[in-house]
Amino acid sequence: MKIVKDNIFEIIFILIIALLFHENVSDWIKKWSDFDSFYAFGFFMLAFVVYLIRKNYKILSEIKNNPSWWGIPLLLIGLFLYVIGVRADYDYIANTSFPFFVAGLLLVIKGKEFFIAILFPLILLSFAIPVLPLHRITMPFQLLSAEITTFILSFLGLQAVNDGNIILLEGHRISVVAGCSGLKSLYSIFFICVIYSYFINTSFIKKIGFVIASIPLALSMNVFRILTVSFYVLYNGEEHAEAFHDGAGVVAYVISIALIILVSMLIEDNKENNKREVSIDEN
């Protein structure tokens, strides 16, 4: 009973969230478990959020409850989105209410200090929740990738034109479908950089730049994948092109991770040099 009494607010918090979103969670798990989903990194992100909370548990547990009424507007926004989503039977709108409910409840129950302390894990968790129908906004990325790839092929002296998301390459027809839009890799690489930046020993400004750099990196790697597939089709025909496409995607991911590690090493502050500079100054 003492445990319940000491954690009554946390229990209320969990019960409210569980009551509202117990049906949505099954859909989240389904998307997290689907490798082809835009949210396939969800379990990894969830594990990292748990890691952050456990790492900072002592600090968080020592923060005294100081309820803030600033959470009320967030709760009202969350309630509005939830009702609209449920009535319209549109899960993405209902899912969008989740971050607002969590933020509002934390402010009302725990207060501003606790909310600020847990804001980073909360943001990461929010991005793991399917709040956007990303599969419906791939076309602009398909068109951009096709246009850039066509430009490079033409620059190399090949007869290439693009018709929307179709690349016509010397008699061959290459379709930049939704899976080739690069949006999934952009989303994944962006959050890999967000997580990786947490462990880099450097300034906050450099970390921001490191995360932003993931956007052109992901787009470049996607164009690289389409280019390699284009050359394969040009010299080997369209047979087995799909299997080659999958392999090229893996190679692009490996190169992306390698570049992320390389850039992180370049921007990371050298602790040994810092120690030497301090010792020299002291002498």
8 Å CB contact between 248 and 221: no
Q: In what order do the strands lie in the sheet with 172-175?
A: 160-163, 166-169, 172-175
8 Å CB contact between 27 and 128: no
Identify the DSSP state of 237.
-
Q: How far apart are CA 135 and CA 124, in angstroms?
A: 20
Residue 105 pLDDT more than 70?
Answer: yes
pTM above threshold 0.85 = no
Q: How far apart are CA 33 and CA 46, in angstroms?
A: 13
Quick one: which of 200, 183, 186, 142 has its CA closest to 166? 142
Residue 15 binned pLDDT confidence (cut-offs 50, 70, 90): confident
Residue 9 binned pLDDT confidence (cut-offs 50, 70, 90): low
Q: How far apart are CA 169 and CA 160, in angstroms?
A: 5
More confident residue, 270 or 177: 177
Q: What is the 3-state secondary structure (H, E, C) of 126-152?
A: HHHCCCCCHHHCCHHHHHHHHHHHHHH
Q: How far apart are CA 75 and CA 106, in angstroms?
A: 10
Residue 281 pLDDT more than 50?
Answer: no
Mind giving me the DSSP string for 3-68? Answer: HHHHTHHHHHHHHHHHHHHHHHHHHHHHHHH-TTSTTTTHHHHHHHHHHHHHHTHHHHHTSPPB--
Residue 278 pLDDT more than 70?
Answer: no
Q: How far apart are CA 118 and CA 16, in angstroms?
A: 19
Residues 6+ apart with CB under 8 A from 110: 9, 63, 65, 66, 67
Q: Please state the rounded mean pLDDT for residues 179-195.
A: 80
Q: Which amino acid is at 105?
A: L
pLDDT at 183: 76
8 Å CB contact between 249 and 224: no
8 Å CB contact between 63 and 86: no
Segments in 71-138 forming alpha helices (H): 71-87, 91-109, 112-117, 119-128
Identify the DSSP state of 274.
H
Residues 6+ apart with CB under 8 A from 96: 81, 85, 131
* 24-41: pLDDT as tens digits: 888 888 888 887 777 888
* 46-89: pLDDT as tens digits: 888 889 988 888 888 888 888 888 889 998 998 898 888 888 77
pLDDT at 6: 54
